[in-house]
Amino acid sequence: MLKKKPSSKIKILGIETSCDETGIAILEVEKGKFKIKENLVASQAKLHAKYGGVYPNLAKREHQKNLPKLFSLIEKSLLKSPPDLIGVTVGPGLDPCLWQGIEFAKKIAKEFNSPLVCADHLIGHLLANFLDFSIEKAKKFHPALGLLVSGGHTQLVLMEKFLKFKVLGETRDDAAGECFDKCARILGLSYPGGPEIEKLAKKFPEISSKIPKNLKNLKLPRPMINQKNYDFSFAGLKTAVLYDFMKRPKKERESEIYKILMAKEIQSAVFDVLIEKTKRAQKEFKIKKLFFGGGVLANETLRKRIKKEFKKCQVLIPKKEFCLDNGLLPATFAFFYSYQKTTDLEKIKSSPNLSF
């Protein structure tokens, strides 16, 4: 539990190791506003690219290596004034990776005698929206609808009261980010697939007048778009991409035009479903406040579409760099949940399947 009054200056250390980014951040709260002091991220994406996805034991070793490296860059600042709070991501995520962050955070918490808050990665993604808000304003942001779209999760949540979440629906199989990563692999693109697919899709205007006849009707399904629930399913989309890819002659499926058209269609299919389900929930629950989060929200096409589709609502999307995993997510979480009693350090453990 926070020892200082929430109205005084507070220094928070955030530690993130749930997947393939090692993140350490220092967030300060003063006069009711957040100030980002440090946001260090060591990405392992290039390392995992050859496996086409995250290889957990390799990721664990990288976190082990990167945590002290990043920490050494901010240690001076902590020695000058120790953290009032430490937030560490305990889940959801890859278990061996989570443990690296947890053990590291425990050591620092002991060293500085600072309370440690167990941060939920999913809630952290949504709370990142409040980094450039005043805290008072943030606490009034309800009732709200939240859409979380990352590599491991796709969830639509209702936040009736501030920080009181209820899951309306989620993916029954692959997450949207995972779908991008798997489709990218089929197309021979590197990991992570989302940014690669976005890059290709952006080239569409260059080829729009040159589309050959046999590629004119390239169309993918919009899974579950008409079902009156808030669940998602993206595994079938990946299979549809695979079938289309396999049925075409090698020369055709390896052509730049095919890849551009496919990338654009994959994006449209995923985003159509995300937007349609969110729209339906927004209407059903008559909600005027919406907030989004997770790595897929770094996608410019999705950001633009959301802003266009929900013009009459108050829409929050974190800055692009804050959509991806970083230490500010557990730090922001730690601040908003700082009233929680600190658990005995020795009892803190990972929660790889943690949900809202």
Is the peptide bond between 221 and the residue preceding it cis, with omega within 30 degrees of 0?
no
Nearer to Zn ion, 56 or 143 (CB): 56
Instruction: Lay out the site mask for Zn ion across 36-75 (x = CB under 5 A, - = otherwise).
Output: ----------------------------------------
Cα separation, 164 vs 180, whole angstroms: 30
Question: Judged by CB under 6 A, does residue 152 bind ligand KG4?
Answer: yes
Answer for which of 193, 223, 327, 330 binds ligand KG4 (CB under 6 A) is: 193
Q: Map tokens 């929900």 to a residue.
A: 310
**Which two tokens mark 300?**
């410019």
Order of strands, sheet of 314-316, starting from the edge strand that comes earlier in the sequence: 164-170, 154-161, 144-149, 289-293, 314-316
Answer for which of 150, 154, 338, 342 binds Zn ion (CB under 5 A) is: 150
The item of ligand KG4, Zn ion, none sharing an interface with residue 120, based on CB under 5 to 8 Å by kind, is none
Cα separation, 22 vs 47, whole angstroms: 13
Nearer to Zn ion, 27 or 261 (CB): 27
Question: Judged by CB under 6 A, does residue 84 bind ligand KG4?
Answer: no
Asked if 26 and 74 touch (Cβ cutoff 8 Å), the reply is yes
Asked if 338 and 11 touch (Cβ cutoff 8 Å), the reply is no
Minimum CB–partner distance for residue 6 and ligand KG4 (Å): 28
Answer for which of 87, 192, 223, 318 binds ligand KG4 (CB under 6 A) is: 192
Minimum CB–partner distance for residue 78 and ligand KG4 (Å): 26
Q: Map tokens 């606490």 to a residue.
A: 139
The CA R_g of the chain, rounded to the nearest whole Å, is 21
The item of Zn ion, ligand KG4, none sharing an interface with residue 317, based on CB under 5 to 8 Å by kind, is none
Give the start-end residues of each E strand in the chain: 10-16, 21-30, 33-43, 85-91, 116-120, 144-149, 154-161, 164-170, 289-293, 314-316
Cα separation, 126 vs 123, whole angstroms: 5
Answer for which of 114, 171, 282, 299 binds ligand KG4 (CB under 6 A) is: 299
Answer for which of 115, 325, 333, 336 binds Zn ion (CB under 5 A) is: 325
Nearer to ligand KG4, 83 or 192 (CB): 192
Question: Judged by CB under 6 A, does residue 124 bind ligand KG4?
Answer: no
Size of the residue set binding ligand KG4 (CB under 6 A): 20
The item of Zn ion, ligand KG4, none sharing an interface with residue 152, based on CB under 5 to 8 Å by kind, is ligand KG4
Minimum CB–partner distance for residue 330 and Zn ion (Å): 11
The helix (H) or strand (E) run that includes residue 172 is none
Minimum CB–partner distance for residue 294 and Zn ion (Å): 6
Say whether 175 sits in a helix, a strand or coil.
coil
Backbone φ/ψ region at 32: left (φ over 0), alpha (ψ -120 to 50), beta: left
Minimum CB–partner distance for residue 19 and Zn ion (Å): 6
Site for ligand KG4 in 319-348 (CB under 6 A): 324-325
Cα separation, 16 vs 19, whole angstroms: 8
Chain residues that interact with ligand KG4, rule: CB under 6 A: 19, 150-152, 177-178, 180-181, 192-195, 198, 294-296, 298-299, 324-325
